[in-house]
Amino acid sequence: MGKKVKKEVEPPPKDVFDPVGVESKKAQTVVLMLSSPEEEVLTKACEAVYKFSEKCEENRSTMLELGAVEPLFRLLGNEDKMVRRNACMAFGVLAEHAEVRKVMRKIECIPAVLALLAPEEDTICHEFASLCISNMAQEFTNKVIIFEQSGLDSLIRLMASPDPDVQKNSTEALCRLVDDFHSRAAIRELGGVPPLLDLLKSEYPAIQLVALDTLTKITLDAETRAALREAEGLERLIEFLGTKEYDDLHVNALHVLSNCLEDAESILELQGTGGLQRLMQFTSETTIPDVQQYAAKSISKATKYAENWKMFHENEVEKALVTLLGADSASVQVAAAQAISAISEHTGSKDAFCKVEEARGMELLVKLLGSENSDVKEAAALAVSNLTTTHPSNCLEVVEHSGIEPLVHLLAEQKDGAVANAAVALANLAGDEIIRMEVVRMGVVPALIQPLKSSNSLVVSKACLALAAFMCDSDARSELRSNGGLDILIKHLNSDNDDVRRGAAWAVLVCGGDPPTATDICKLGGLEILQEINQSVSRQNKFTQAAMDKLLDSNLPAKFALTGYLGPDNAITDGFFDAGPLRPDSRFMSLDELNTREVNEKRPILLVNVQPQEQQSPQPPEVESKTETKAANQKPSKKELAKGKSKASKEKEEKQKEEEMQLLQLILQQQEGEGGSYHPPMDHALYEYIGEVSNKIRPMATTREQVVALARFVAYKMGGPVERGKLSTFSYELPISQIKYELKSNILPIGRVKTGIHYHRALLFKALADRIAVPCSLVRGEYNRAWNEVVLNVDDTANGAKYPPKLYVVDLMHIPGRLMEGDSSEAVQYKKL
């Protein structure tokens, strides 16, 4: 055998560098290696960058500072598959850093990354390229670029990848992209809804979570919700809620379902498949607080439309919400109470609520009013206020479960919302008289005064409205005055907030119907404030106008001074006075203030009063003289009117003057002793007039006869008829000045005026007509003109035709008793100078 010869190894070519094993521990070196022309070096360098960057945010920042981003970007298009894959891994991880993303956007890397999502690329490239796109999609500018580069197609396709990381990253990228509405519509058009629903069956909760979050965003569009229904998505969501192992994700599923429930079509489909009933059952049975809370919120959101509410109502939504009220979690209680408030907008739920489990719902709400949690109290008060709005039965339920006291206590709560809701609820209870009296007895009026001082306009406006609801009781008005609430209420009339001003005006309107309260309001400047407000086009409203009208109806002297008109329903009573016309921006003065003025030459202040203050009004004497009755009914002859009064009547008047002077001196002494408080003197002459007209004119058969007779009576008592051309020679000023001098006052009892012109006679006519229930108006004109208007039936014609009543002006000056049609030329002349 021959000797075995060893084969010689061929030496490497002279132009090839011998392999060098390099072990680098510096990041700078690795970054330099990214520019190597050798694929093996590039592969290892990219892998090293990936491992280094994956560790922490600081390392990613270091790579940015060393300039690793641009070399990696160039390697994304490398022909070597391994280099391309490792570069993609490093690039995807680096994209998690915000500053790195800015550099990536500048170098326009998105098209290159999207190219790595192509089907021919391996799974690792898909995973990290989708991760990079997901990170880049955090900025809006990048979202637009991805959308324009048709990146949605690839991402939707990758949701069906067998690799869970690819599924998660691609779905997460879509979730961020659909923040833009263009992308939401594109996903629907590209068929992205079914793949998202398929991901709900994934065994990885992270994938299910991101899929649900994406569905939540895209179902904000009605067309996408329709696509989800076509893909049987509602049934899948209900099944998902019924799977106990998905408890942690039930809240997210409810987010999607809540969006879908905005459509009546979705609710109708669920009702047809039994899904709505299962949803109500799920709401009642779940014990997870977050799920309970959002279930209640979903119901609240879905039932805001009547057609949706009806289907929920048929599936006993009230019962499910009452169950949630009994939960231990405060957040669940708040959500349930808010949902009850929402469905209470519908009368059917108000009716059904207190029938659930023997009115347990109202019992639970009343219990929650006393909770230690302020949010719970606020929500419970809101529910009670909505349930009791225009619903007497629910008001009774609140009372039966002792709900008045906690509602009154809530008025002192620190949380403004709770105070406002409690005020509304109490106002609702005030609709029942018996309940209202009970609430007043429990101290609601003093409790409402504190919210009036709040700086929150909502609280103040609701407190004002609640006060208005209780001010129809005299006890409540007395409490308001005694506790100083009236002053605070009036100040709110000047509020810049429309709701506060409206509420305060409404409360003043109700209070103004009570004369003592109306007087206090006027003393506190309420009338002047309302005058000022009603002069403003922007601040006035129907409530301020109505409040002022009500105050004026309770203060007729102010009404006549400001408006120059008293209607048939404005009956003049004792204490009325006419101080002359007043401009709208002028302040109205009381008798006490007017009495402090010295006697002057201006027109007198005419007073109507037949009783002294603090004395009972005596009944007018019954005069039974047939002669006087006949004289009152008949028109006086010209001769009698020229001579004036008979001797007997003159003696009677002189005696009456003496009595009045004695009484006036006594009253003046009382005024001096009581600090200037004015006590109107009794008008004996007016007292006699009332007695005469009560016995002679009141029994007449028709109103027309009464008006004519009363006109002649007034003219006879005030100097008789005066021809129109001789009115300027009718001396009335001197006698009036004499009376002012005698009384040492500008205030004259109307009965003391014996020579009067238009405005004297018109006032006396109105005062007497109101005493005998003859309806008439008192109207002030210009230049001391005033007249009375009456509405009388027109006499039936011969052919039996009937005509509506007509307005007449009563002549008290020229031809006493003449009735002139309101629009006739003679009536116009009578009203003018």
Domain span at residue 620 reads 593-831
**Does pLDDT of 644 surpass 80?**
no
653 or 560, which is more confident: 560
The total number of structural domains that make up the chain? 2
What is the mean pLDDT of the segment spanning 82-104?
Answer: 90
**Which of 322, 436, 433 has the alpha carbon at shortest distance from 380?**
322
Q: Show the tokens assigned to 267.
A: 């609710």
Least confident of 97-101, 510-514, 662-666, 739-743: 662-666
pLDDT attached to residue 195: 94
pLDDT (tens digit, 9 = 90+) per residue, 661-694? 555 554 445 444 444 567 888 899 999 999 999 9
- C-alpha–C-alpha distance, residues 49 and 742, integer Å: 116
- In percent, how much of the chain has pLDDT > 70? 88
pLDDT (tens digit, 9 = 90+) per residue, 718-771? 989 998 877 777 878 888 888 888 888 889 999 999 999 999 999 999 999 999
Least confident of 58-72, 627-641, 704-718: 627-641
Domain boundary among 107, 124, 146: 107
Query: How many residues are given for the chain?
Result: 833
Pairing label, strands 777-780, 747-749: unpaired
What is the mean pLDDT of the segment spanning 765-784?
Answer: 94
DSSP string, 604-620: PEEEE-SS-TTSPPPPP
Confidence band, pLDDT 50/70/90 cuts, at residue 40: confident
pTM for this structure? 0.74
DSSP string, 68-122: -HHHHHHHTT-SSHHHHHHHHHHHHHHTTSHHHHHHHHHTT-HHHHHHTTSTTS-
Residue 552 lies in a domain: no
- C-alpha–C-alpha distance, residues 232 and 576, integer Å: 80
**Could you give phi then psi for residue 481, rounded to 5 degrees?**
-70, -45
Confidence band, pLDDT 50/70/90 cuts, at residue 800: low
Q: What residues contact 152, with CB distance under 8 A and at least 6 apart?
A: 146, 174, 177, 183, 186, 187, 190, 192
Residue 768 lies in a domain: yes
pLDDT attached to residue 38: 85
Q: Distance from first CA to last CA of the chain, Å, rounded?
A: 164
Say whether 37 sits in a helix, a strand or coil.
coil
Distances from the Cα of 442 to the Cα of 156, 383, 448, 761, angstroms? 66, 22, 12, 52
Residue 75 lies in a domain: yes
Contact predicate 759/736, CB 8 Å: no
23 or 726, which is more confident: 726
Q: What is the dihedral of CA 692, 694, 700, 704, to 10 degrees?
A: 90
744: left (phi over 0), alpha (psi -120 to 50) or beta: left
**Which of 128, 129, 146 has the alpha carbon at shortest distance from 137?**
146
- C-alpha–C-alpha distance, residues 720 and 815, integer Å: 9
Q: What residues contact 150, with CB distance under 8 A and at least 6 apart?
A: 114
pLDDT attached to residue 621: 41
- C-alpha–C-alpha distance, residues 770 and 627, integer Å: 25
pLDDT attached to residue 423: 96
Highest-scoring range by mean pLDDT, 5-9, 480-484, 608-612: 480-484
Confidence band, pLDDT 50/70/90 cuts, at residue 623: very low
Domain boundary among 56, 74, 107: 107
Confidence band, pLDDT 50/70/90 cuts, at residue 21: low
**Does pLDDT of 658 surpass 80?**
no
pLDDT attached to residue 41: 86
Confidence band, pLDDT 50/70/90 cuts, at residue 22: low
Confidence band, pLDDT 50/70/90 cuts, at residue 578: very high
Q: 33: which strand partners?
A: none
Q: What is the dihedral of CA 433, 438, 440, 446, to 10 degrees?
A: -150
Q: Show the tokens assigned to 326.
A: 């009994």
- C-alpha–C-alpha distance, residues 695 and 654, integer Å: 23
Residue 236 lies in a domain: no
Confidence band, pLDDT 50/70/90 cuts, at residue 660: low
Contact predicate 170/161, CB 8 Å: yes
Tokens 């009570």 sit at which residue? 514
pLDDT (tens digit, 9 = 90+) per residue, 61-89? 998 888 888 988 888 888 888 988 999 99
Highest-scoring range by mean pLDDT, 147-151, 309-313, 504-508: 504-508
Residue 311 lies in a domain: no
Least confident of 92-106, 559-573, 607-621, 659-673: 659-673
353 or 801, which is more confident: 353
- C-alpha–C-alpha distance, residues 77 and 779, integer Å: 99
CATH at residue 30: 1.25.10.10
What is the mean pLDDT of the segment spanning 19-40?
Answer: 75
SS (H, E, C) 187-227: HHHCCCHHHHHHHHHCCCHHHHHHHHHHHHHHCCCHHHHHH
pLDDT attached to residue 78: 87
pLDDT attached to residue 236: 92
What is the mean pLDDT of the segment spanning 206-219?
Answer: 94
Residue 690 lies in a domain: yes
682: left (phi over 0), alpha (psi -120 to 50) or beta: beta
Q: Show the tokens assigned to 738.
A: 């004499």
**Does pLDDT of 157 surpass 90?**
yes
- C-alpha–C-alpha distance, residues 111 and 149, integer Å: 7
Q: Show the tokens assigned to 415.
A: 């949380």
Q: Show the tokens assigned to 556.
A: 């007729």
pLDDT (tens digit, 9 = 90+) per residue, 526-539? 888 998 898 888 88
The DSSP code for 589 is -
Edge to edge, the sheet with strand 777-780 lists 565-566, 777-780, 786-792, 806-810, 819-821
Determine the longest span between alpha carbons in the chain, in angstroms.
188
pLDDT (tens digit, 9 = 90+) per residue, 321-370? 988 998 989 999 999 999 999 999 888 888 887 776 655 888 999 999 99
**Does pLDDT of 604 surpass 80?**
yes
pLDDT (tens digit, 9 = 90+) per residue, 431-484? 999 999 999 999 999 999 999 999 999 999 999 999 999 998 888 999 999 998
Confidence band, pLDDT 50/70/90 cuts, at residue 635: very low
Contact predicate 669/660, CB 8 Å: no
Residue 806 lies in a domain: yes
**Does pLDDT of 165 surpass 60?**
yes
Say whether 450 sits in a helix, a strand or coil.
helix
pLDDT (tens digit, 9 = 90+) per residue, 294-306? 889 888 888 888 8
- C-alpha–C-alpha distance, residues 706 and 701, integer Å: 8
**Which of 88, 105, 169 has the alpha carbon at shortest distance from 142?**
105
Q: 577: which strand partners?
A: 607
Residue 679 lies in a domain: yes
The mean pLDDT of the chain is: 85
Q: 808: which strand partners?
A: 790, 821
Domain boundary among 107, 133, 151: 107
